[in-house]
Structure 1
């Protein structure tokens, strides 16, 4: 881990060779971009600004297009640390809107059911959150990349096929209600690898005898790495302009 953290230092003193050798980049993924969009854009920028035609680039944990926040991009030999990075705890700030559920558990699909929310209070949400603390068995959303019968679940779900995915063990290390302005709660979530925040939002709605969906999500930390140390795509591009080419 100590060696990995050393590769996080990316500034104008870096050389093109440093990225080939291996760097871990903290990027603030923009809303609507897929994680692959970020990887692809960085590959293009390496070629354009640094003259690097061939380089290993990968990300350490997918962030959905409808989410923003911390995405770790690894280059060169640092791609060997991806599995280690993916195993770290994650921190998110989730916007959870009560009163409607959606098939995808987020805003990718339209609401399919509506519910009452008058009974939901800040105190009730805080009480419900306590029930999620610790190890839980969580069912992934059917709109996910998990394979079922040889096909991605989301491909089958989009065709209208009814699916039931096996529950998986996840752990919620910390849950904090940051704010509640009906019908939307702002919740800080610290959780283990493999936790679906969309499923958490859906399950929280059910726990409150209502329905809910994830209306916004920002990843704020991966292990010891924080979003406030990340570069926007624009900042990273400006940095590359100052770096010595091959």
Structure 2
């Protein structure tokens, strides 16, 4: 790791930094490991957080939020995610992944692609999933993975999860690579384990990569080492995504300066949005007439007013002003 001196850190935090960095996390690091390295490199100890934990085994998209972007971390966690996962059939492990201890080996060679595809379809849609013991969920103040390491297994309540899409990318038994698009709260390790149980041969995750969180794709990601080099060169802010880049799926409108000030003060406003059918609680991006991203507003139909939902104080013109 390149050493970054105090002068470079001072330059890194000269002015307020708002935006999202997309790190391509390597296998073996925790999400907090990455966050600590980013904080250390930039010297920004406060107002920095990550938008969605990745297991140490997993690699791929890890959004790092700076400044006012941290107010959208909860939204990031709830957004649709896309994964590439390789499943090893025939072997069950205690952690449901390749880092665990094998607990059972079962024959799998009789399984045809047709059987596997038919079984995979059972994991499309909304269904209950039991979280793994090796997870950060708590029971009576203690992490489940801590209990698991002590040899203690406790009953876990199933949770409803959503798999929007699931498809085979590569079929080469005993390995099966799938692409999955899912909602919040789904454990990919549990998905692999449950799939193996449904097939009757057991299974675990041998490789996992998150390729997208919401609109943030692996194509726009950089490695931690590349980021540290850019901090050293003083260019790292050039690689931040604007806050509204997370929100381009929402329609947009423009506020007058008077309307913008009312929203900043927390007041509801009337907006004559033309040519669009508006429903109760519809959410829009809103910009100042100078192109600054103002935030998100929601429509309150009973009073025919738009109310501030997430309002920001940004000075720079947004690159997405006209989108």
Deviation string for 1:186-232 (max 9, x for gaps)? 00010001100000000110111110001110000011111011011
From 199, 205, 210, give the equivalent of 1:208: 199
Query: Match of 1:21, SS?
Result: coil
Q: 1:98 to 1:25 in 2, by over 3 A?
A: same
Q: Is contact 1:20–1:77 with CA below 8 Å preserved after alignment?
A: no
Cα displacement (A) at 1:20: 3.3
Q: Is contact 1:104–1:143 with CA below 8 Å preserved after alignment?
A: yes
User: Structure 1: where are the runs of 5+ without partners?
Assistant: 1-14
> How many matched pairs?
226
2:130 matched to which residue of 1? 139
From 153, 165, 186, give the equivalent of 1:174: 165
User: Normalising to structure 2: TM-score of the pair?
Assistant: 0.67
User: Structure 2: where are the runs of 5+ without partners?
Assistant: 1-10, 237-323
Higher RCO (Cα < 8 Å, 6 or more apart): 1
Q: 1:165 to 1:18 in 2, by over 3 A?
A: farther
Cα displacement (A) at 1:149: 2.3
1:2-81 correspondence runs (5 A): 16=12, 20-47=16-43, 52=44, 54-81=45-72
Please tell me the root mean square deviation across aligned C-alpha atoms, in Å. Answer: 1.7
Shifted more, 194-203 versus 101-110: the winner is: 101-110
**Matches of 1:42 and 1:162, distance apart in 2:** 35
1:236 aligns with 2:233: no
**Matches of 2:123 and 2:235, distance apart in 1:** 50
Q: 1:82 to 1:188 in 2, by over 3 A?
A: same
**Matches of 2:201 and 2:54, distance apart in 1:** 27
Cα displacement (A) at 1:55: 3.0
1:5 matched to which residue of 2? none
1:222 aligns with 2:213: yes
Q: Is contact 1:19–1:75 with CA below 8 Å preserved after alignment?
A: no
1:84 aligns with 2:75: yes
Q: 1:164 to 1:115 in 2, by over 3 A?
A: same
User: Normalising to structure 1: TM-score of the pair?
Assistant: 0.88
1:10 matched to which residue of 2? none
Q: 1:56 to 1:113 in 2, by over 3 A?
A: same
**Matches of 2:50 and 2:160, distance apart in 1:** 23
Cα displacement (A) at 1:183: 0.3
1:199 aligns with 2:195: no
Cα displacement (A) at 1:23: 1.6
Cα displacement (A) at 1:19: 7.3
From 127, 147, 156, give the equivalent of 1:156: 147
